[in-house]
């Protein structure tokens, strides 16, 4: 059972969960957590493909870079979020409707 398919399914599941979190959670932190989930699933997929299809370390390297970027992004995102919180006095994403047309 240690096949590519397994890992890919896991990856898909994680991805969908992450997406669900992004789309449905009210709290902005929750949305960020969803994003992290998605990133993880992507990394997992990369590594799985690297292991089973490519045969070299390209997959892992890609996953590594994902981690790096995720870190940077999380930092900035949280900074933004904290400013948002200061401004709106709430963590709810729905409240960010200043661009409402």
Partner 1 sequence: MLAIVLSILLAPLAAFALVIFFGRWLPRGGDWVSLIAIWGGLGLSLYLFFARILVAYNPTFLENFSFDWLVWGDYRLTVGIALDNMAVMMLVVVTLVSAVVHLFSIGYMKGDPRYSQFFAYLSFFSFSMLGLVLADNLLVIYAFWELVGLSSYLLIGFWYEKDSASDAGKKAFITNRVGDAGMLVGILLVFTVLGTMNLREITEGVAAGKLSGGLLTTAGICLFLGAVGKSAQFPLHVWLPDAMEGPTPVSALIHAATMVAAGVYLTARIFVILTVDASLVIAYVGGFTAIFAATIAVAQNDIKRVLAYSTVSQLGYMVMALGVGAYTAGFFHLVTHAMFKACLFLGSGSVIHALHHALHHAGSHADAQDLRNMGGLRKRMPLTFWTFLIATVALSGVPLTSGFISKDAILGGTLAFVMEHPVHWPLALFGFCAAALTAFYMFRLVYLAFAGTFRGSPQAESHLRESPAVITAPLIILSTLCFFAFFTLPALNPTTPEGGWFAHLFPNPPRAYETALSGEHAAVAGHGAEAATESLHHTAHNAAMLISILVAGLGIWIATLGYYWKRISPAYWQTRFGVLYRGMFHKWWSDEIYDATVIKGTLGFSRLLAWFDLRGIDGVVNGSAWLTRWASVVQGWFDLRVVDGLVNRAAWFVGVWGKFVRRFQSGQIQRYIFYSLLVVGIVVVLNWFGGLR
Partner 2 sequence: MTLLSQIVFWFFVALTVVSAAVVVFHKRIIYSAFALLFAFFGVAVLYLFLHADFLAAAQVLIYVGGILTLVIFGVFLTAKITTLDIPQLTHQRFLALIPLVLLGLGIFLVFYTVPWPSVQPEITPTTQRIGELLLTRYLVPFELASVLLLAALVGAMRLARHFRQQEGD
Q: Which does 42 bind (CB under 5 to 8 A by kind): partner 1, partner 2, none?
A: none
Does 96 contact partner 1 by CB under 8 A?
yes
Q: Residue 19 or residue 98: which is nearer to partner 2 going by CB? A: 19
Does 76 contact partner 2 by CB under 8 A?
yes
Q: Cβ–Cβ contacts within 10 Å for residue 78, how many?
A: 13
User: What is the distance between the alpha carbons of residues 37 and 44, in angstroms, rounded to a whole number?
Assistant: 10
Does 96 contact partner 2 by CB under 8 A?
no
Q: Cβ–Cβ contacts within 10 Å for residue 32, how many?
A: 19
Smallest gap from Cβ 101 to partner 2, in A, equals 19
Does 42 contact partner 2 by CB under 8 A?
no
Q: Which does 31 bind (CB under 5 to 8 A by kind): partner 1, partner 2, none?
A: partner 1
Count of residues near partner 1 by CB under 8 A:
14
Q: Is 97 helix (H, G, I), strand (E, B) or coil?
A: coil
User: What is the distance between the alpha carbons of residues 7 and 72, in angstroms, rounded to a whole number?
Assistant: 26
Q: With the CA atoms of 62, 64, 55 and 3 taken in that order, what torsion angle do they form, in degrees rounded to the nearest 10?
A: -100
């Amino acid at each position: 059972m240690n096949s590519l398919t397994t890992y890919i399914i896991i990856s898909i599941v994680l991805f969908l969960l992450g997406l669900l979190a992004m789309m449905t959670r009210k709290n902005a932190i929750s949305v960020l957590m969803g994003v992290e989930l998605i990133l993880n699933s992507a990394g997992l997929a990369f590594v799985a493909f690297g292991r089973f299809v490519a045969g070299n370390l390209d997959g892992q390297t890609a996953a590594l870079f994902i981690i790096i970027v995720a870190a940077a992004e999380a930092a900035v995102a949280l900074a933004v979020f904290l400013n948002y919180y200061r401004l709106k006095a709430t963590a709810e994403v729905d409240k960010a409707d200043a661009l409402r047309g």
